[in-house]
Chains A and B, each alone.
Chain A
Amino acid sequence: MRRRTLLLTVIVVLLMSLWTWAQSTGFFQNYPGGYSKSVFRITQEGLTNPIVLSMEVRAIDGDKLSVKTTNELLGTRKDLESKVFDGIARTQLEVSSDAINALRNQTLLPNTTYLLPGGAKFVSENKDTISGVEVIRGVLTDPKKQNRRTVLALSSDKSIPFPPLLQVDEQRVLLYVTTYKLELTEFAKQ
Protein backbone atom coordinates (compact mmCIF):
# COMPACT_ATOMS: atom_id res chain seq x y z
CA MET A 1 0.00 0.00 0.00
CA ARG A 2 2.81 2.37 1.04
CA ARG A 3 4.75 1.60 -2.12
CA ARG A 4 1.67 2.15 -4.27
CA THR A 5 1.01 5.53 -2.64
CA LEU A 6 4.63 6.50 -3.13
CA LEU A 7 4.59 5.49 -6.78
CA LEU A 8 1.35 7.36 -7.33
CA THR A 9 2.83 10.50 -5.76
CA VAL A 10 5.93 10.24 -7.92
CA ILE A 11 3.80 9.79 -11.04
CA VAL A 12 1.62 12.79 -10.19
CA VAL A 13 4.69 14.97 -9.60
CA LEU A 14 6.26 13.75 -12.84
CA LEU A 15 3.18 14.51 -14.84
CA MET A 16 2.75 17.92 -13.21
CA SER A 17 6.37 18.72 -13.93
CA LEU A 18 6.02 17.77 -17.58
CA TRP A 19 2.78 19.69 -17.98
CA THR A 20 4.09 22.78 -16.21
CA TRP A 21 7.15 22.85 -18.39
CA ALA A 22 5.22 22.22 -21.60
CA GLN A 23 2.85 25.07 -20.74
CA SER A 24 5.54 27.51 -19.62
CA THR A 25 7.56 27.16 -22.81
CA GLY A 26 4.56 27.48 -25.11
CA PHE A 27 5.01 23.93 -26.42
CA PHE A 28 1.27 23.37 -26.77
CA GLN A 29 0.76 26.83 -28.30
CA ASN A 30 3.34 26.12 -30.97
CA TYR A 31 2.45 22.46 -31.57
CA PRO A 32 2.31 22.09 -35.35
CA GLY A 33 -0.50 19.53 -35.50
CA GLY A 34 -0.83 15.82 -36.27
CA TYR A 35 0.29 13.00 -33.99
CA SER A 36 3.65 12.69 -32.26
CA LYS A 37 5.19 10.46 -29.65
CA SER A 38 8.41 11.36 -27.83
CA VAL A 39 10.14 9.12 -25.33
CA PHE A 40 12.91 10.50 -23.12
CA ARG A 41 15.28 8.80 -20.73
CA ILE A 42 16.53 10.70 -17.68
CA THR A 43 19.65 9.50 -15.93
CA GLN A 44 21.15 11.26 -12.95
CA GLU A 45 24.08 10.86 -10.64
CA GLY A 46 22.94 8.76 -7.70
CA LEU A 47 19.85 7.38 -9.44
CA THR A 48 20.18 3.61 -9.94
CA ASN A 49 17.73 3.24 -12.83
CA PRO A 50 16.70 5.78 -15.43
CA ILE A 51 13.33 7.53 -15.45
CA VAL A 52 11.55 7.07 -18.77
CA LEU A 53 9.08 9.74 -19.79
CA SER A 54 6.83 9.68 -22.81
CA MET A 55 4.44 12.19 -24.29
CA GLU A 56 1.93 11.47 -27.01
CA VAL A 57 0.18 14.45 -28.55
CA ARG A 58 -2.64 14.17 -31.05
CA ALA A 59 -4.22 17.22 -32.63
CA ILE A 60 -7.97 16.99 -32.76
CA ASP A 61 -10.00 19.27 -34.98
CA GLY A 62 -9.44 22.98 -34.52
CA ASP A 63 -7.69 24.13 -31.38
CA LYS A 64 -7.85 20.93 -29.33
CA LEU A 65 -5.00 18.57 -28.49
CA SER A 66 -5.21 15.17 -26.88
CA VAL A 67 -2.17 14.59 -24.66
CA LYS A 68 -1.12 11.31 -23.04
CA THR A 69 1.91 11.19 -20.79
CA THR A 70 3.35 8.05 -19.25
CA ASN A 71 6.42 7.22 -17.26
CA GLU A 72 8.33 4.22 -16.10
CA LEU A 73 10.59 4.02 -13.13
CA LEU A 74 11.99 1.26 -11.04
CA GLY A 75 13.67 1.96 -7.78
CA THR A 76 14.07 0.97 -4.20
CA ARG A 77 11.86 2.71 -1.66
CA LYS A 78 14.84 4.88 -0.70
CA ASP A 79 15.45 5.82 -4.35
CA LEU A 80 11.82 6.70 -4.86
CA GLU A 81 11.74 8.84 -1.76
CA SER A 82 14.80 10.91 -2.51
CA LYS A 83 16.65 10.62 -5.79
CA VAL A 84 13.62 10.35 -8.07
CA PHE A 85 12.23 13.61 -6.75
CA ASP A 86 15.65 15.21 -7.22
CA GLY A 87 15.63 13.99 -10.82
CA ILE A 88 12.20 15.44 -11.49
CA ALA A 89 12.95 18.77 -9.86
CA ARG A 90 16.21 18.98 -11.76
CA THR A 91 14.53 18.21 -15.10
CA GLN A 92 12.14 21.08 -14.48
CA LEU A 93 15.03 23.37 -13.53
CA GLU A 94 17.36 22.44 -16.40
CA VAL A 95 14.90 22.60 -19.28
CA SER A 96 13.33 25.84 -18.05
CA SER A 97 16.51 27.93 -17.94
CA ASP A 98 16.38 31.26 -19.78
CA ALA A 99 19.30 30.26 -21.99
CA ILE A 100 17.68 27.02 -23.18
CA ASN A 101 14.33 28.74 -23.69
CA ALA A 102 16.08 31.40 -25.78
CA LEU A 103 17.42 28.69 -28.11
CA ARG A 104 14.11 26.93 -28.57
CA ASN A 105 12.40 27.29 -31.94
CA GLN A 106 15.32 29.29 -33.34
CA THR A 107 17.09 28.59 -36.59
CA LEU A 108 20.62 27.61 -35.63
CA LEU A 109 23.68 27.36 -37.83
CA PRO A 110 26.45 24.85 -37.21
CA ASN A 111 29.78 26.04 -35.78
CA THR A 112 28.49 29.40 -34.58
CA THR A 113 28.66 31.16 -31.22
CA TYR A 114 25.37 32.57 -29.94
CA LEU A 115 25.07 35.07 -27.09
CA LEU A 116 22.14 34.38 -24.81
CA PRO A 117 20.28 36.10 -21.93
CA GLY A 118 22.12 36.28 -18.64
CA GLY A 119 25.54 36.28 -20.34
CA ALA A 120 25.25 32.61 -21.37
CA LYS A 121 26.87 31.39 -24.61
CA PHE A 122 25.99 28.52 -26.91
CA VAL A 123 28.65 27.24 -29.27
CA SER A 124 27.00 25.09 -31.91
CA GLU A 125 28.83 22.16 -33.49
CA ASN A 126 27.90 19.91 -36.38
CA LYS A 127 24.52 18.56 -37.34
CA ASP A 128 23.64 15.10 -36.07
CA THR A 129 20.70 12.73 -35.72
CA ILE A 130 19.18 11.52 -32.45
CA SER A 131 16.43 8.88 -32.69
CA GLY A 132 15.81 9.89 -36.27
CA VAL A 133 15.53 13.59 -35.47
CA GLU A 134 17.93 16.03 -37.08
CA VAL A 135 19.65 18.12 -34.43
CA ILE A 136 22.41 20.65 -33.98
CA ARG A 137 24.72 19.76 -31.14
CA GLY A 138 26.52 22.34 -29.08
CA VAL A 139 27.82 23.35 -25.68
CA LEU A 140 26.10 25.87 -23.46
CA THR A 141 28.08 27.76 -20.81
CA ASP A 142 26.72 30.13 -18.22
CA PRO A 143 28.90 32.63 -16.30
CA LYS A 144 26.80 32.03 -13.19
CA LYS A 145 27.71 28.32 -13.24
CA GLN A 146 31.37 28.35 -14.12
CA ASN A 147 32.15 24.79 -13.08
CA ARG A 148 29.68 23.23 -15.44
CA ARG A 149 28.81 22.92 -19.12
CA THR A 150 25.62 21.73 -20.77
CA VAL A 151 25.87 19.61 -23.89
CA LEU A 152 22.74 20.29 -25.90
CA ALA A 153 21.19 18.92 -29.06
CA LEU A 154 18.43 21.10 -30.41
CA SER A 155 15.85 20.38 -33.04
CA SER A 156 13.69 22.78 -34.97
CA ASP A 157 10.82 20.27 -34.85
CA LYS A 158 8.15 21.88 -32.69
CA SER A 159 6.46 18.57 -31.91
CA ILE A 160 9.28 17.52 -29.53
CA PRO A 161 8.64 18.79 -26.00
CA PHE A 162 12.22 18.74 -24.64
CA PRO A 163 15.62 19.26 -26.30
CA PRO A 164 16.59 15.84 -27.77
CA LEU A 165 19.74 15.92 -25.64
CA LEU A 166 20.52 17.84 -22.48
CA GLN A 167 23.59 16.64 -20.65
CA VAL A 168 24.97 18.50 -17.66
CA ASP A 169 28.67 18.00 -16.98
CA GLU A 170 30.25 19.31 -13.80
CA GLN A 171 33.93 19.87 -13.31
CA ARG A 172 35.33 17.77 -10.49
CA VAL A 173 38.99 18.70 -9.97
CA LEU A 174 40.25 18.40 -13.59
CA LEU A 175 37.66 16.19 -15.25
CA TYR A 176 34.08 16.81 -16.30
CA VAL A 177 31.60 14.32 -14.85
CA THR A 178 28.08 13.90 -16.24
CA THR A 179 25.64 14.55 -13.41
CA TYR A 180 22.40 14.65 -15.36
CA LYS A 181 21.26 13.54 -18.81
CA LEU A 182 17.96 13.84 -20.64
CA GLU A 183 17.93 12.05 -23.98
CA LEU A 184 15.35 11.41 -26.67
CA THR A 185 15.24 7.65 -27.21
CA GLU A 186 12.22 7.34 -29.47
CA PHE A 187 10.35 9.74 -31.69
CA ALA A 188 7.54 9.19 -34.16
CA LYS A 189 5.14 11.53 -35.84
CA GLN A 190 2.40 11.31 -38.43
Chain B
Amino acid sequence: MFFELSRLALRNILRRKLRSALTLIGILIGMTAIVALISLGQGLQRAIDRQFAKVGYDLVFVIPGVAGGGQSSRARAIDTRPIEPLADAARVGAMLRLDHAQPVAANGVQGFLTLVGISQGLVPIAPSILGGFELQQGVLFRPSQPEVVLGSATATDFKVRVGDKVTIKEKPFTVAGVLKPTGELQNESAIYLDLEKLYELTQEPQLVSLVVVKAKAGVDVQHLAQQVEKALADNGTRDITVQTSKQLSEIVGSILRIIQVTLAGIAAIALIVGAIGLANTMFMAVLERTREIGVLKSLGAKPRHILSLFLIEASLLGLLGGILGILCGLSLSQTATLIAAQAFSTVHFGASATPELILSALAISMLLGAFAGLLPALRASRLNPVEALHYE
Protein backbone atom coordinates (compact mmCIF):
# COMPACT_ATOMS: atom_id res chain seq x y z
CA MET B 1 0.00 0.00 0.00
CA PHE B 2 2.86 2.40 0.95
CA PHE B 3 4.54 1.89 -2.41
CA GLU B 4 1.24 2.36 -4.25
CA LEU B 5 0.63 5.63 -2.41
CA SER B 6 4.25 6.73 -3.01
CA ARG B 7 3.92 6.06 -6.72
CA LEU B 8 0.65 8.00 -6.82
CA ALA B 9 2.23 10.89 -4.86
CA LEU B 10 5.20 10.98 -7.22
CA ARG B 11 2.86 11.01 -10.23
CA ASN B 12 0.97 13.95 -8.71
CA ILE B 13 4.25 15.83 -8.18
CA LEU B 14 5.30 15.22 -11.78
CA ARG B 15 1.86 16.18 -13.09
CA ARG B 16 2.47 19.85 -12.17
CA LYS B 17 6.18 20.12 -12.87
CA LEU B 18 6.57 23.90 -12.73
CA ARG B 19 4.67 24.32 -9.49
CA SER B 20 6.56 21.42 -7.89
CA ALA B 21 9.86 22.87 -9.08
CA LEU B 22 9.03 26.30 -7.63
CA THR B 23 8.07 24.71 -4.32
CA LEU B 24 11.30 22.70 -4.32
CA ILE B 25 13.34 25.86 -4.83
CA GLY B 26 12.02 27.29 -1.56
CA ILE B 27 13.25 24.26 0.40
CA LEU B 28 16.42 24.06 -1.70
CA ILE B 29 17.50 27.65 -0.88
CA GLY B 30 17.02 27.18 2.85
CA MET B 31 18.78 23.81 2.91
CA THR B 32 21.63 25.11 0.72
CA ALA B 33 22.30 27.94 3.18
CA ILE B 34 22.15 25.65 6.21
CA VAL B 35 24.37 22.92 4.75
CA ALA B 36 26.91 25.42 3.38
CA LEU B 37 27.18 27.33 6.65
CA ILE B 38 27.36 24.25 8.85
CA SER B 39 29.91 22.46 6.66
CA LEU B 40 32.08 25.61 6.57
CA GLY B 41 31.73 25.99 10.33
CA GLN B 42 32.62 22.33 10.90
CA GLY B 43 35.64 22.69 8.61
CA LEU B 44 36.81 25.76 10.50
CA GLN B 45 36.27 24.03 13.86
CA ARG B 46 38.33 21.04 12.72
CA ALA B 47 41.12 23.31 11.48
CA ILE B 48 41.19 25.11 14.83
CA ASP B 49 41.18 21.83 16.75
CA ARG B 50 44.04 20.55 14.57
CA GLN B 51 46.01 23.73 15.15
CA PHE B 52 45.57 23.59 18.92
CA ALA B 53 46.38 19.86 18.97
CA LYS B 54 49.60 20.75 17.13
CA VAL B 55 50.37 23.55 19.61
CA GLY B 56 49.58 21.26 22.53
CA TYR B 57 47.32 21.70 25.54
CA ASP B 58 50.21 22.00 27.99
CA LEU B 59 51.04 25.64 27.33
CA VAL B 60 50.39 28.85 29.23
CA PHE B 61 50.45 32.11 27.29
CA VAL B 62 51.17 35.51 28.80
CA ILE B 63 49.92 38.23 26.50
CA PRO B 64 50.49 41.96 27.08
CA GLY B 65 47.25 43.87 27.72
CA VAL B 66 44.02 42.99 29.47
CA ALA B 67 41.23 41.40 27.43
CA GLY B 68 38.37 43.89 27.21
CA GLY B 69 40.20 46.28 29.49
CA GLY B 70 41.03 48.81 26.81
CA GLN B 71 44.74 48.33 27.40
CA SER B 72 47.16 48.17 24.52
CA SER B 73 48.14 44.67 23.42
CA ARG B 74 51.40 45.98 21.98
CA ALA B 75 54.72 44.62 23.11
CA ARG B 76 55.67 45.64 26.62
CA ALA B 77 58.27 44.86 29.25
CA ILE B 78 57.62 41.56 31.03
CA ASP B 79 60.38 40.11 33.18
CA THR B 80 60.19 36.33 32.74
CA ARG B 81 62.76 35.56 35.44
CA PRO B 82 60.17 35.05 38.24
CA ILE B 83 58.47 32.33 36.16
CA GLU B 84 61.57 30.29 35.41
CA PRO B 85 61.98 28.74 38.90
CA LEU B 86 58.36 27.48 38.99
CA ALA B 87 58.49 23.73 39.69
CA ASP B 88 55.66 22.91 37.27
CA ALA B 89 57.21 24.81 34.34
CA ALA B 90 59.29 22.69 31.97
CA ARG B 91 60.27 25.58 29.73
CA VAL B 92 59.80 29.36 29.54
CA GLY B 93 60.16 31.25 26.29
CA ALA B 94 59.36 34.67 24.92
CA MET B 95 59.13 36.40 21.59
CA LEU B 96 59.03 39.96 20.35
CA ARG B 97 57.65 41.05 17.01
CA LEU B 98 58.78 44.62 16.48
CA ASP B 99 55.99 47.04 15.59
CA HIS B 100 58.24 49.16 13.44
CA ALA B 101 60.17 47.76 10.49
CA GLN B 102 63.96 48.01 10.65
CA PRO B 103 66.43 48.83 7.86
CA VAL B 104 67.91 45.70 6.29
CA ALA B 105 70.40 45.44 3.42
CA ALA B 106 72.18 42.66 1.51
CA ASN B 107 73.75 42.37 -1.93
CA GLY B 108 72.92 46.01 -2.67
CA VAL B 109 69.21 45.44 -2.01
CA GLN B 110 67.59 47.51 0.73
CA GLY B 111 64.44 47.13 2.75
CA PHE B 112 62.57 47.90 5.92
CA LEU B 113 61.40 44.61 7.37
CA THR B 114 59.77 43.16 10.45
CA LEU B 115 62.12 41.58 12.97
CA VAL B 116 60.99 38.75 15.23
CA GLY B 117 63.09 37.89 18.26
CA ILE B 118 62.71 34.39 19.70
CA SER B 119 64.24 33.38 23.01
CA GLN B 120 66.13 30.11 23.28
CA GLY B 121 63.41 28.77 25.59
CA LEU B 122 60.85 29.20 22.84
CA VAL B 123 62.93 27.83 19.94
CA PRO B 124 61.98 24.11 20.41
CA ILE B 125 58.23 24.88 20.44
CA ALA B 126 58.32 27.75 17.95
CA PRO B 127 57.35 25.58 14.92
CA SER B 128 54.08 24.62 16.62
CA ILE B 129 53.05 28.09 17.76
CA LEU B 130 54.47 30.25 14.97
CA GLY B 131 52.83 29.43 11.66
CA GLY B 132 55.39 28.38 9.07
CA PHE B 133 58.44 28.38 11.34
CA GLU B 134 60.00 25.36 9.65
CA LEU B 135 63.48 25.34 8.17
CA GLN B 136 64.01 24.68 4.49
CA GLN B 137 67.79 25.17 4.55
CA GLY B 138 70.47 25.55 7.23
CA VAL B 139 69.99 25.65 10.97
CA LEU B 140 68.38 27.90 13.57
CA PHE B 141 70.31 30.86 15.00
CA ARG B 142 72.52 30.05 17.98
CA PRO B 143 72.17 31.77 21.37
CA SER B 144 73.48 35.35 21.40
CA GLN B 145 75.13 34.91 18.00
CA PRO B 146 74.76 37.49 15.24
CA GLU B 147 72.78 35.00 13.14
CA VAL B 148 69.39 35.20 11.53
CA VAL B 149 66.82 32.93 9.94
CA LEU B 150 65.10 34.47 6.94
CA GLY B 151 61.59 34.02 5.67
CA SER B 152 61.64 32.46 2.20
CA ALA B 153 60.56 35.69 0.43
CA THR B 154 63.26 37.70 2.21
CA ALA B 155 65.94 35.22 1.15
CA THR B 156 64.74 35.32 -2.47
CA ASP B 157 64.36 39.12 -2.64
CA PHE B 158 67.78 39.78 -1.08
CA LYS B 159 69.33 36.99 -3.18
CA VAL B 160 71.02 35.45 -0.14
CA ARG B 161 71.67 31.86 0.92
CA VAL B 162 72.82 30.16 4.09
CA GLY B 163 76.22 31.55 5.11
CA ASP B 164 75.73 34.94 3.39
CA LYS B 165 75.68 38.22 5.28
CA VAL B 166 72.84 40.70 5.80
CA THR B 167 73.05 43.97 7.68
CA ILE B 168 70.32 45.01 10.07
CA LYS B 169 70.52 48.57 11.37
CA GLU B 170 74.02 48.60 9.89
CA LYS B 171 75.14 45.61 11.98
CA PRO B 172 76.26 42.42 10.17
CA PHE B 173 74.41 39.13 10.66
CA THR B 174 75.04 35.71 9.13
CA VAL B 175 72.16 33.85 7.50
CA ALA B 176 71.96 30.59 9.50
CA GLY B 177 68.80 29.25 7.86
CA VAL B 178 65.92 29.91 5.51
CA LEU B 179 62.32 28.97 6.30
CA LYS B 180 59.99 26.96 4.09
CA PRO B 181 57.58 29.03 1.98
CA THR B 182 54.14 29.14 3.53
CA GLY B 183 52.18 31.52 1.32
CA GLU B 184 51.77 33.83 4.32
CA LEU B 185 53.57 36.95 3.09
CA GLN B 186 53.83 38.61 6.50
CA ASN B 187 55.89 35.71 7.85
CA GLU B 188 57.77 35.05 4.61
CA SER B 189 59.07 38.62 4.56
CA ALA B 190 60.15 38.64 8.22
CA ILE B 191 63.58 38.09 9.77
CA TYR B 192 63.97 35.88 12.85
CA LEU B 193 66.81 36.16 15.33
CA ASP B 194 67.73 35.45 18.92
CA LEU B 195 65.73 37.64 21.31
CA GLU B 196 68.87 38.80 23.13
CA LYS B 197 70.38 39.97 19.83
CA LEU B 198 67.17 41.84 19.05
CA TYR B 199 67.37 43.56 22.45
CA GLU B 200 70.92 44.61 21.57
CA LEU B 201 69.64 46.15 18.35
CA THR B 202 66.63 47.93 19.85
CA GLN B 203 68.18 48.80 23.21
CA GLU B 204 64.87 47.86 24.82
CA PRO B 205 65.45 44.75 26.95
CA GLN B 206 62.53 42.70 28.35
CA LEU B 207 60.08 44.01 25.78
CA VAL B 208 57.96 41.05 24.65
CA SER B 209 54.90 40.37 22.50
CA LEU B 210 54.28 36.93 24.00
CA VAL B 211 55.56 34.71 26.80
CA VAL B 212 55.00 30.96 26.57
CA VAL B 213 55.36 28.56 29.51
CA LYS B 214 55.34 24.82 28.79
CA ALA B 215 54.07 22.64 31.65
CA LYS B 216 55.85 19.51 32.80
CA ALA B 217 54.15 16.23 31.90
CA GLY B 218 51.18 15.39 34.12
CA VAL B 219 50.98 18.86 35.64
CA ASP B 220 47.68 20.72 36.07
CA VAL B 221 48.11 23.43 33.41
CA GLN B 222 45.38 25.62 34.92
CA HIS B 223 47.20 25.58 38.26
CA LEU B 224 50.45 26.49 36.49
CA ALA B 225 48.67 29.43 34.84
CA GLN B 226 47.63 30.69 38.30
CA GLN B 227 51.20 30.31 39.53
CA VAL B 228 52.50 32.25 36.53
CA GLU B 229 49.98 35.04 37.08
CA LYS B 230 50.85 35.26 40.77
CA ALA B 231 54.62 35.22 40.17
CA LEU B 232 54.30 38.06 37.65
CA ALA B 233 51.91 40.05 39.85
CA ASP B 234 54.29 39.68 42.82
CA ASN B 235 57.00 41.06 40.57
CA GLY B 236 54.83 44.11 39.81
CA THR B 237 53.76 43.06 36.31
CA ARG B 238 50.22 44.30 35.69
CA ASP B 239 47.92 44.55 32.66
CA ILE B 240 48.66 41.14 31.23
CA THR B 241 46.41 38.27 30.20
CA VAL B 242 47.36 34.73 31.24
CA GLN B 243 45.60 31.97 29.30
CA THR B 244 46.19 28.26 28.84
CA SER B 245 46.10 26.83 25.33
CA LYS B 246 42.98 24.88 26.36
CA GLN B 247 41.26 28.10 27.45
CA LEU B 248 42.19 29.79 24.20
CA SER B 249 40.87 26.80 22.26
CA GLU B 250 37.60 26.94 24.23
CA ILE B 251 37.24 30.70 23.71
CA VAL B 252 37.80 30.35 19.96
CA GLY B 253 35.48 27.32 19.83
CA SER B 254 32.67 29.07 21.70
CA ILE B 255 32.91 32.18 19.52
CA LEU B 256 32.76 29.94 16.46
CA ARG B 257 29.73 28.08 17.83
CA ILE B 258 27.89 31.36 18.50
CA ILE B 259 28.61 32.50 14.94
CA GLN B 260 27.52 29.12 13.57
CA VAL B 261 24.26 29.05 15.54
CA THR B 262 23.45 32.66 14.57
CA LEU B 263 24.11 32.04 10.88
CA ALA B 264 22.26 28.71 10.89
CA GLY B 265 19.34 30.49 12.61
CA ILE B 266 19.25 33.09 9.84
CA ALA B 267 19.42 30.33 7.22
CA ALA B 268 16.62 28.46 9.02
CA ILE B 269 14.32 31.43 8.32
CA ALA B 270 14.77 30.75 4.61
CA LEU B 271 13.90 27.10 5.24
CA ILE B 272 10.74 28.06 7.16
CA VAL B 273 9.70 30.35 4.30
CA GLY B 274 10.24 27.39 1.96
CA ALA B 275 8.06 25.20 4.20
CA ILE B 276 5.28 27.80 4.15
CA GLY B 277 5.48 27.75 0.34
CA LEU B 278 5.18 23.97 0.43
CA ALA B 279 2.13 24.13 2.71
CA ASN B 280 0.54 26.60 0.31
CA THR B 281 1.21 24.27 -2.64
CA MET B 282 -0.37 21.37 -0.76
CA PHE B 283 -3.49 23.40 0.10
CA MET B 284 -3.81 24.25 -3.58
CA ALA B 285 -3.39 20.56 -4.49
CA VAL B 286 -6.16 19.54 -2.07
CA LEU B 287 -8.51 22.13 -3.55
CA GLU B 288 -7.71 21.14 -7.13
CA ARG B 289 -8.07 17.41 -6.40
CA THR B 290 -11.21 17.56 -4.27
CA ARG B 291 -13.24 15.59 -6.86
CA GLU B 292 -10.39 13.06 -7.18
CA ILE B 293 -10.43 12.64 -3.38
CA GLY B 294 -14.20 12.11 -3.58
CA VAL B 295 -13.71 9.39 -6.24
CA LEU B 296 -11.01 7.66 -4.16
CA LYS B 297 -13.22 7.73 -1.06
CA SER B 298 -16.26 6.43 -2.95
CA LEU B 299 -14.06 3.55 -4.24
CA GLY B 300 -13.23 2.60 -0.65
CA ALA B 301 -10.21 4.70 0.25
CA LYS B 302 -10.17 5.39 3.99
CA PRO B 303 -9.26 8.82 5.52
CA ARG B 304 -5.89 7.42 6.59
CA HIS B 305 -5.13 6.51 2.96
CA ILE B 306 -5.89 10.08 1.82
CA LEU B 307 -3.89 11.46 4.76
CA SER B 308 -0.93 9.21 3.87
CA LEU B 309 -1.14 10.16 0.19
CA PHE B 310 -0.82 13.89 0.86
CA LEU B 311 1.74 13.42 3.62
CA ILE B 312 3.90 11.27 1.33
CA GLU B 313 3.56 13.86 -1.42
CA ALA B 314 4.64 16.71 0.91
CA SER B 315 7.48 14.61 2.38
CA LEU B 316 8.71 13.72 -1.09
CA LEU B 317 8.75 17.39 -2.07
CA GLY B 318 10.67 18.18 1.13
CA LEU B 319 13.09 15.29 0.56
CA LEU B 320 13.77 16.24 -3.07
CA GLY B 321 14.34 19.88 -2.04
CA GLY B 322 16.63 18.61 0.72
CA ILE B 323 18.70 16.41 -1.62
CA LEU B 324 19.16 19.26 -4.10
CA GLY B 325 19.85 21.69 -1.23
CA ILE B 326 22.55 19.40 0.19
CA LEU B 327 24.23 19.11 -3.22
CA CYS B 328 24.09 22.90 -3.74
CA GLY B 329 25.20 23.58 -0.16
CA LEU B 330 28.25 21.30 -0.47
CA SER B 331 29.17 22.86 -3.82
CA LEU B 332 28.78 26.35 -2.34
CA SER B 333 30.95 25.60 0.69
CA GLN B 334 33.66 24.05 -1.51
CA THR B 335 33.57 27.09 -3.81
CA ALA B 336 33.74 29.44 -0.80
CA THR B 337 36.81 27.54 0.48
CA LEU B 338 38.51 27.80 -2.91
CA ILE B 339 37.75 31.53 -3.18
CA ALA B 340 39.02 32.10 0.37
CA ALA B 341 42.20 30.14 -0.44
CA GLN B 342 42.84 32.35 -3.46
CA ALA B 343 41.94 35.60 -1.73
CA PHE B 344 43.93 35.08 1.46
CA SER B 345 46.74 32.94 -0.01
CA THR B 346 46.73 30.67 3.07
CA VAL B 347 43.56 29.04 4.18
CA HIS B 348 44.25 25.94 6.17
CA PHE B 349 40.72 24.64 6.27
CA GLY B 350 38.30 22.91 3.98
CA ALA B 351 34.55 22.57 4.27
CA SER B 352 33.67 19.44 6.18
CA ALA B 353 30.45 17.52 5.56
CA THR B 354 30.03 14.67 8.00
CA PRO B 355 27.59 11.78 7.31
CA GLU B 356 25.65 13.02 10.37
CA LEU B 357 25.20 16.43 8.72
CA ILE B 358 23.94 14.91 5.47
CA LEU B 359 21.60 12.43 7.17
CA SER B 360 20.27 15.11 9.54
CA ALA B 361 19.68 17.49 6.62
CA LEU B 362 17.79 14.75 4.74
CA ALA B 363 15.68 13.88 7.79
CA ILE B 364 14.94 17.54 8.56
CA SER B 365 13.90 18.33 5.01
CA MET B 366 11.60 15.28 4.87
CA LEU B 367 10.07 15.97 8.30
CA LEU B 368 9.67 19.65 7.45
CA GLY B 369 7.86 18.63 4.25
CA ALA B 370 5.59 16.28 6.20
CA PHE B 371 4.93 18.96 8.84
CA ALA B 372 4.13 21.57 6.18
CA GLY B 373 1.78 19.10 4.47
CA LEU B 374 0.05 17.90 7.66
CA LEU B 375 -2.74 20.47 7.76
CA PRO B 376 -3.68 20.19 4.07
CA ALA B 377 -3.52 16.36 4.34
CA LEU B 378 -5.82 16.39 7.39
CA ARG B 379 -8.27 18.65 5.54
CA ALA B 380 -8.22 16.27 2.54
CA SER B 381 -8.73 13.18 4.72
CA ARG B 382 -11.77 14.76 6.41
CA LEU B 383 -13.58 15.67 3.18
CA ASN B 384 -17.10 14.30 2.82
CA PRO B 385 -17.05 12.00 -0.27
CA VAL B 386 -20.48 13.17 -1.54
CA GLU B 387 -19.59 16.88 -1.19
CA ALA B 388 -16.19 16.21 -2.70
CA LEU B 389 -17.71 14.55 -5.75
CA HIS B 390 -19.97 17.59 -6.31
CA TYR B 391 -17.10 20.08 -5.89
CA GLU B 392 -16.73 22.34 -8.94
Residues of A within 8 A of B (CB): 26, 98, 101-103, 105-106, 109, 112-119, 143-144
B301 close to chain A: CB less than 8 A: no
Flag B77-108 by CB within 8 Å of A: 1 or 0 each: 00000000000000000000000110110000
B110 close to chain A: CB less than 8 A: yes
Inter-chain pairs besides A106-B103, A109-B110, A115-B158, 20 sampled, C-beta below 8 Å: A26-B100, A101-B101, A102-B113, A105-B100, A113-B109, A114-B112, A115-B109, A115-B111, A115-B189, A116-B101, A116-B111, A116-B189, A117-B101, A117-B114, A117-B189, A117-B190, A118-B189, A119-B153, A119-B185, A119-B188
Flag B37-59 by CB within 8 Å of A: 1 or 0 each: 00000000000000000000000
Q: Tell me the dominant secondary structure on chain A's binding face.
A: mixed
**Chain A residues, Cβ within 8 Å of B109:** 113, 115
Identity of the chain A residue whose Cβ is nearest the Cβ of B111 in the assembled complex: A115
**Chain B residues, Cβ within 8 Å of A115:** 104, 109-113, 154, 157-158, 189
Residues of B within 8 A of A (CB): 100-101, 103-104, 109-114, 153-154, 157-158, 185-186, 188-190, 345
In this complex, which of A103, A114, A143 has the most chain B Cβ atoms within 10 angstroms of its Cβ? A114
Bound CA span A150–B109, Å:
21
**Chain A residues, Cβ within 8 Å of B153:** 119
**Chain B residues, Cβ within 8 Å of A98:** 101, 114, 186
Q: Is the CB of B112 within 8 A of A118?
A: no
**Chain A residues, Cβ within 8 Å of B113:** 102, 115-117
Interchain CB contact (< 8 A) of A106 among B112, B157, B189: B112
Bound CA span A114–B102, Å:
12
Identity of the chain A residue whose Cβ is nearest the Cβ of B186 in the assembled complex: A118
Can you list 25 A-B pairs, Cβ within 8 angstroms, ordered by A? A26-B100, A98-B114, A101-B101, A102-B101, A102-B114, A103-B112, A105-B100, A106-B101, A114-B110, A114-B112, A115-B109, A115-B110, A115-B111, A115-B112, A115-B157, A115-B158, A115-B189, A116-B112, A116-B113, A117-B101, A117-B112, A117-B114, A118-B185, A119-B153, A144-B345
